[in-house]
Chain A
Amino acid sequence: GQNIDQPTEMTATEGAIVQINCTYQTSGFNGLFWYQQHAGEAPTFLSYNVLDGLEEKGRFSSFLSRSKGYSYLLLKELQMKDSASYLCAVRTFSGGYNKLIFGAGTRLAVHP
């Protein structure tokens, strides 16, 4: 079966660094995405990894290890507006088509 695990909740302090982990067991792996979702809003794209290694994008970085079925999202210089849910999603390829399978999301609370 397809399984994606990430912590349910995390808290951090403004200005700090936080790492949100995601582990997955899926077949037909074809890329891993991180999305941010503020309460009551749509998910918005943050980052994408398909090869092993680190992708950096401003205050956000994402890492992937395909052999370990592991990814993390690193948020630096945390701001209050970073309080949101962070969704790990694996793109799987099967039967000629891709689809995204989402984890349950990690709710991050940033405190002053």
Chain B
Amino acid sequence: DTAVSQTPKYLVTQMGNDKSIKCEQNLGHDTMYWYKQDSKKFLKIMFSYNNKELIINETVPNRFSPKSPDKAHLNLHINSLELGDSAVYFCASSRRGTSGAQTSTDTQYFGPGTRLTVL
């Protein structure tokens, strides 16, 4: 039983195209995230949703638009793809998420990643 799943696993596309990546978690978590891991392996947060509400939006180009139809799903749509968008995109989820100062672990669980290559 996959906890956090993403589709597709690999995505190869031409510059200028529009593409979407889907993420689903069956952990019953309230919060979901999108991260980008570049060629230098730096894992950086892009967006976070808590119960379908956008709560973290880092300085990401507005060509990237996340959508959360329900708290178990978080999709990422990318318009007008550029070469620099090539990376691995990870979805993650956590139980209580990001609201309020916490001392509990509230671990983030990551999906398998989507390797996007823009040609």
* Interface residues, chain A, with chain B CB atoms under 8 Å away: 30-31, 33, 41-45, 48, 50, 85, 87, 89, 93, 96-102, 104-105
B113 — which chain A residues lie within 8 A by C-beta? 41-42
The answer to whether B43 and A43 have CB atoms under 8 Å apart is yes
User: B56 — which chain A residues lie within 8 A by C-beta?
Assistant: 97, 99
- The contact of B43 among A31, A41, A96, A102, by CB within 8 Å, is A102
Chain B contact residue count (CB 8 A cutoff): 27
Secondary structure at chain A's binding surface: helix, strand, loop or mixed?
strand
A42 pairs with B43, CB closer than 8 A: no
A44: B residues at CB distance < 8 A: 110
Which residues of A sit under 8 angstroms from B41, Cβ to Cβ? 85, 104-105
A104 to B41, alpha carbons, bound, how many Å?
6
Identify which of B48, B98, B112 gathers the most chain A CB atoms within 10 Å of its CB.
B98
CB <8 Å contact, A42 and B48: no
